[in-house]
Amino acid sequence: MTYEKAIKYLFDSAPMFQNVGAAAYKEGLGGTLFLDEHFGHPHRSYRCIHVGGTNGKGSVTHTLAAILQAQGYRVGLYTSPHLVDFRERIRVNGKMISKKRVIDFVEQEHSFFEPLHPSFFELATALAFQYFAEQKVDFAVVEVGLGGRLDCTNIITPELSVITNISFDHVQFLGDTLPKIASEKAGIIKPGIPVCIGENINEEVKAVFANKAQEVGAPIAFAEDENCQIVKLSNCQLTGFCQEKNRRTILSSVRLLRERGIKISDQAIKKGFAEVCTMTGLMGRWQILKKKPLTICDTGHNVGGMQYITKQLQETPHKKLHIIIGMVNDKDVSTVLGMLPKDAVYYFTQASVTRAMPVEEFSAKAKAHGLCGNCFETVESAYKATKKKAKKDDVIFVGGSTFIVADLLKIKGLLRCC
């Protein structure tokens, strides 16, 4: 079996949420626990850090992994979604799981899991946890897939739980108010395990976390309420405006890990922040792809993420702003469109996933908000058109959806020229 066939088998047998949305969502931990039993509870052989929240999970997980790597630990990293290759989800010390290991998983286990009809994420999680045990990692930094309470990753007992922030996303599964969403995210808070809350949205949400922590006897730290300057950072590889809050969350988390006796030096912290993308392969966070014209992509895809992107675009020097954008159909499209600058030139497009909002529909919604531009059937065609039109002193921004960025990064030769 080839790697391409193995991946196709996984995608076809159990649809990815990133492709089809709600149809791929499977509530409950029954299947996960069954798979975990079958593989011998591999996550019990290493220490874990569990990271949930609405925005910032990827930046926080990758930076924590980089810091631990810089300290000399062997570190597994499990994140989602992937942008270019499925194997981005499962890394050890920044190196992706091998194609052969993915092939072996499908070939050796398909007869077991087929009768179970597991979700794609259940299978990916089972593979990740098993692989980390095989690789004898010291730590695994594990990102929650969706929510927290019923997420596949919530079978672990971590050294630390982290909840980055709360914003409106996946409301059809997690609830239509911030306290309801917070309650689902709070499901990763474990008895006796410290939890770091990154951003205080409001007192009602804060109370949800505080009450849950008190209920299970978990020490709780609110990063925004404490002085987290445990080390002076002079160089950070992640430069998006949203990273200021993420940095505070990470530093607070490191303090809590140190209090649990985990050795992390100031030098390791500095190196982790300075080299996070290099050490872990993180992409798509205010990623500069080209200098002239300045070309940037960012996976921020909801109101919480877009508020930072629009502010940073306004403050980035440019003669003309060109925005390649598309969204998926289960997001708060109207609110996001209302946040975007009216004076930019827009290139409306759609990602190559089933969930993508058709470009004509998206364009109509955008024009209702006073945003003007042309439609393009693919991200690549939109990017080519933008390159022809943009001058060297202009700025090109690509985003609106994780999957728009994914399609951009798949353009042949793009990453090599960066």
pLDDT of residue 297: 97
Cβ atoms within 10 Å of 284's Cβ, excluding its own: 21
pLDDT of residue 323: 98
| Angstrom distance (rounded) from CA 199 to CA 193 | 19
pTM score of the predicted model: 0.92
Q: H/E element holding 407? A: helix 402-409
| Angstrom distance (rounded) from CA 342 to CA 356 | 23
pLDDT of residue 3: 97
- pLDDT tens for the chain, residues 1 to 418: 999 999 988 887 765 544 444 454 556 788 899 999 999 999 999 999 999 998 899 999 999 999 999 999 999 999 999 999 999 999 999 999 999 999 999 999 999 988 888 888 999 999 999 999 999 999 999 999 988 999 999 999 999 999 999 876 645 556 578 989 999 999 999 999 999 999 887 899 999 999 999 999 999 999 988 776 678 888 999 998 889 899 999 999 999 999 999 999 999 999 999 999 999 999 999 999 999 999 999 998 788 889 899 999 999 999 999 999 999 987 789 999 999 999 999 999 999 998 899 999 999 999 999 999 999 999 999 999 999 999 999 999 999 999 999 999 999 878 754 4
Token pair of 108 as six digits:
């050796």
Helices (H), 199-242: 203-216
Find, among 280, 137, 162, 151, the residue nearest to 221 by Cα. 162
Beta strands in 285-364 (DSSP E): 287-291, 294-297, 321-325, 345-348
Q: Using one digit for the tens of pLDDT, what is the confidence trace for 239-257? A: 988 898 999 999 999 999 9
pLDDT of residue 360: 96
Phi, psi of 396 (to 5 degrees): -110, 125
Burial track 152-181 (b if 16+ CB lie within 10 A, e otherwise) = bbbbbebbbbbbbbbbbbbeebbbeebeeb
pLDDT of residue 413: 75
pLDDT of residue 113: 85
How many distinct helices (H) and strands (E) make up the chain?
A: 17, 14
Start-to-end Cα distance in the chain: 33
- Give Cβ neighbours of residue 378 (< 8 Å, ≥ 6 apart): 349, 350, 352, 407
* Complete domains list, the chain, with CATH: 3-280 (3.40.1190.10), 287-409 (3.90.190.20)
